[in-house]
């Protein structure tokens, strides 16, 4: 093997800032990112790697907009990279960019790369509440500044948007409720599974010095609905939703093994990037044949393991993206792991914190620390969109030739129409969820249905019609039923009536 073509991780840095949400301590994401880079260079013991970087990759910052963050970062570390990449929105990008960086090293095009991301959503919210202008009053960047815009395409397909399925909090529960039905679980059994899963994640976060929430929660504390732990969309209370209002940043330094040795980095600090795989699902959730599984997620996991010549049983640690419980559940099922497996070394989005697109950078940093401490093999997964974009990397303690390939894209899918176009027709419920207001009452139901000939549609009850929404709640199941999935219903001019 050629040491110049073996990609390795040599430095990791993480920052947690302004946990008190103080105006006085508010710093923009760029400042946090540069601090994380300094920490990564200090971790590697080779600060010169920052200035010698020939490639810089940045994960999209959502809490503050930058025209070309990679150029600003390059100026900040006095580097002159030949290659720069600024990602669009999506939680898959930390691992997808790592794959790109490792592939360029494996091809001989690069020798030192920086990969960074960060958010200051907690500070941005605190400044807005206090009436403080981050640019005029604190000198935050103004090119362009302000929260980054969201492209309409990131909000789902036209059919999804027409039905109001444009928020993750409305879409992921649809998968959760379908999985519950497919596995034959009662709502209580499924809720207990989620509560135990996220209780375990909170215990991991309690040991992580970068975590936003550091209290280990019992399953009862996670799963019990209270005024502070209100239902968001069934079956998820607030404790099972990602926490985006955090100030966190992370950076990793990727080099060739030859460059690491030339910089004097000791062998015990070097973590090898063995293999990666990415798969993108059909963009329209309503068109996907299975709403209780993620084929793209399963294919990305198995693809990375196959390329690394590793089985799931050989992994010492697994870190799965956990914006909602359904993601680690589906990953665990795809990997053949027991339901009580703890699928994070970071702490999950609701306890560690969910710095939007850059969460998996923190997972990478923790995986590196664990391998340096004696573990041999790690798998880190990242998810973007509505279970749409999947990327997985396998890291190891020993040198192997890097294996990757192009991102695979799933195509096709079921026919989808606007519910109003179906007229008066009998349908079958595929899955459903009910969104609750801050007062705890049902506010709106979202139901995915299919016709006898396999056409899919999504129906939303009128916003604020509590009675119509409550009819699709898990609390309103018919006697003896454990799910709405499979129920017959009548759809007439976009209005759904259960039978």
- Looking up residue 448, the CATH number of its domain turns out to be 2.40.50
Q: Which of 378, 409, 440 is the last residue of a domain?
A: 409
* pLDDT for position 238: 97
Element (H, E) at 390: strand 389-396
Distances (CA, A) of 77 to 51, 168, 268, 336, 461: 6, 36, 26, 44, 52
Tell me the per-residue pLDDT of 254-264, one tens digit each, with 9 for 90 and over. 999 999 999 99
The span from the CA of 245 to the CA of 435, in Å, is: 21
The span from the CA of 250 to the CA of 15, in Å, is: 6
SS (H, E, C) 56-123: EEECCCCCCCECCHHHHHHHHHCCCCCEEEECCCCCCHHHHHHHHHHHHHHCCCCCEEEEEEEEEHHH
The span from the CA of 349 to the CA of 211, in Å, is: 10
Residues 349 and 492 in one domain: no
Cβ-contact 294, 44 below 8 angstroms: no
In a domain, 8, yes or no: yes
The span from the CA of 325 to the CA of 224, in Å, is: 15
In a domain, 74, yes or no: yes
For residue 357, give both structure tokens: 């697109």
For residue 489, give both structure tokens: 């219903």
* pLDDT for position 10: 98
The span from the CA of 234 to the CA of 474, in Å, is: 8
Q: Which of 409, 434, 469 is the last residue of a domain?
A: 409
In a domain, 193, yes or no: no
Residues 391 and 481 in one domain: no
| Residue found by looking up tokens 């990242």 in the block | 382
From the list 439, 362, 425, 354, the residue with the least C-alpha distance to 172 is 354
Tell me the per-residue pLDDT of 204-244, one tens digit each, with 9 for 90 and over. 999 999 999 999 999 999 999 999 999 999 999 999 999 99
The span from the CA of 220 to the CA of 288, in Å, is: 34
In the chain, the number of structural domains is 2
Average pLDDT, the chain: 96
Residues 358 and 455 in one domain: no
The CA-based dihedral angle spanning residues 154, 57, 139, 24, taken in that order and rounded to the nearest 10 degrees: 80
Three-class DSSP category at 133? coil
* pLDDT for position 177: 98
Domain of 473 in residue numbering reads as: 419-498
Residues 488 and 404 in one domain: no
* pLDDT for position 210: 97
Residue 385 phi, psi (nearest 5)? 70, -145
Residues 455 and 395 in one domain: no
Which stretches of the chain score pLDDT less than 70? none
Residues 299 and 444 in one domain: no
Residues 427 and 402 in one domain: no
Residues 425 and 490 in one domain: yes
Q: Which of 342, 377, 409 is the last residue of a domain?
A: 409
* pLDDT for position 156: 87
In a domain, 267, yes or no: yes
The span from the CA of 275 to the CA of 285, in Å, is: 28
Q: How far is CA 26 from the centre of its chain?
A: 25
Cβ neighbours for 444, distance < 8 A, ≥ 6 positions apart: 164, 434, 435, 460, 461, 462, 463, 464, 465, 469
The CA-based dihedral angle spanning residues 348, 350, 356, 362, taken in that order and rounded to the nearest 10 degrees: -30
In a domain, 217, yes or no: no
In a domain, 236, yes or no: no
Q: Supply angle C-alpha 199, 209, 138, rounded to 5.
A: 115
Element (H, E) at 272: strand 271-280
Q: Is 433 left (phi over 0), alpha (psi -120 to 50) or beta?
A: beta
- Which CATH number characterizes residue 264's domain? 3.40.47.10
Cβ neighbours for 422, distance < 8 A, ≥ 6 positions apart: 451, 455, 457, 491
Residues 123 and 248 in one domain: yes
* pLDDT for position 420: 85
SS (H, E, C) 165-220: CCCHHHHHHHHHHHHHHHHCCCHHHHHHHHHHHHHHHHHHHCCCCCCCCCCCCCHH
Residues 335 and 439 in one domain: no
In a domain, 185, yes or no: no
In a domain, 72, yes or no: yes
Residues 445 and 316 in one domain: no
The span from the CA of 415 to the CA of 411, in Å, is: 12
Residues 266 and 370 in one domain: yes
Distances (CA, A) of 441 to 227, 379, 431, 467: 12, 40, 20, 10
């Amino acid at each position: 093997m050629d040491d110049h073509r073996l990609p390795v991780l040599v430095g990791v840095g993480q920052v947690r800032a302004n946990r008190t949400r103080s105006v006085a301590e508010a710093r923009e994401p760029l400042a946090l990112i540069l601090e994380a880079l300094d920490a990564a260079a200090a971790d590697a013991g080779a600060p010169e790697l920052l200035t010698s970087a020939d490639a810089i990759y940045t994960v999209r910052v959502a809490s503050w907009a930058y025209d070309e963050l990679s150029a600003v970062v390059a100026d900040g570390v006095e580097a002159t990279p030949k290659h720069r990449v600024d990602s669009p929105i999506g939680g898959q990008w930390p691992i997808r960019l790592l794959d790109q960086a490792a592939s360029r090293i494996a091809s001989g095009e690069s020798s030192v790369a920086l990969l960074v991301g960060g958010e200051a959503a907690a500070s941005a919210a605190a400044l807005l509440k206090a009436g403080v202008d981050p640019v005029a009053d604190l000198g935050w960047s103004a090119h362009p500044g302000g929260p980054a815009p969201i492209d309409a395409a990131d909000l789902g397909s036209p059919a999804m948007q027409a039905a109001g399925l444009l928020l993750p909090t409305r879409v992921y529960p649809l998968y959760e409720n379908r999985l519950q039905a497919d596995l034959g679980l009662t709502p209580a059994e499924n809720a207990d599974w989620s509560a135990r899963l996220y209780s375990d994640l909170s215990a991991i976060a309690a040991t992580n010095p970068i975590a936003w929430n550091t209290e280990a929660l019992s399953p009862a504390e996670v799963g019990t609905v209270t005024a502070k732990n209100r239902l968001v969309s069934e079956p998820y209370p607030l404790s099972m939703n990602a926490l985006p209002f955090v100030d966190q940043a992370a950076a990793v330094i990727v080099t060739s093994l030859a460059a690491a040795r030339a910089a004097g980095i000791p062998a015990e600090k070097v973590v090898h990037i063995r293999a990666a795989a990415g798969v993108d699902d059909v963009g329209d959730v309503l068109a996907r044949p299975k709403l209780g599984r993620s084929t793209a997620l399963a294919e990305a996991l198995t693809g990375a393991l196959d390329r690394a010549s590793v089985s799931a049983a050989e992994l010492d640690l697994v870190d799965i993206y956990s914006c909602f419980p359904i993601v680690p559940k589906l990953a665990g099922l795809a990997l053949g792991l027991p339901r009580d497996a703890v699928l994070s070394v970071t702490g999950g989005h609701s306890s560690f914190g969910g710095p939007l697109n850059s969460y998996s950078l923190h997972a990478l940093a923790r995986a590196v620390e664990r391998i340096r401490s004696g573990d041999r093999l790690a798998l880190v997964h990242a998810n973007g969109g509505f279970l749409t974009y999947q990327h997985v990397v396998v890291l190891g303690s020993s040198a192997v030739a890097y294996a990757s390939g192009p991102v695979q894209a799933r195509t096709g899918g079921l026919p989808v129409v606007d519910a109003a176009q179906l007229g008066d027709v009998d349908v079958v419920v595929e899955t459903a969820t009910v969104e609750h207001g801050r007062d705890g009452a049902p506010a709106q139901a979202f139901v995915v249905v299919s016709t006898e000939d396999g056409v899919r549609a999504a129906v939303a009850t009128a916003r604020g019609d509590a009675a119509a929404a409550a009819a699709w709640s898990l609390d309103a199941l018919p006697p003896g039923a454990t799910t709405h999935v499979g129920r017959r219903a009548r759809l007439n001019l976009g209005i759904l009536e259960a039978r």
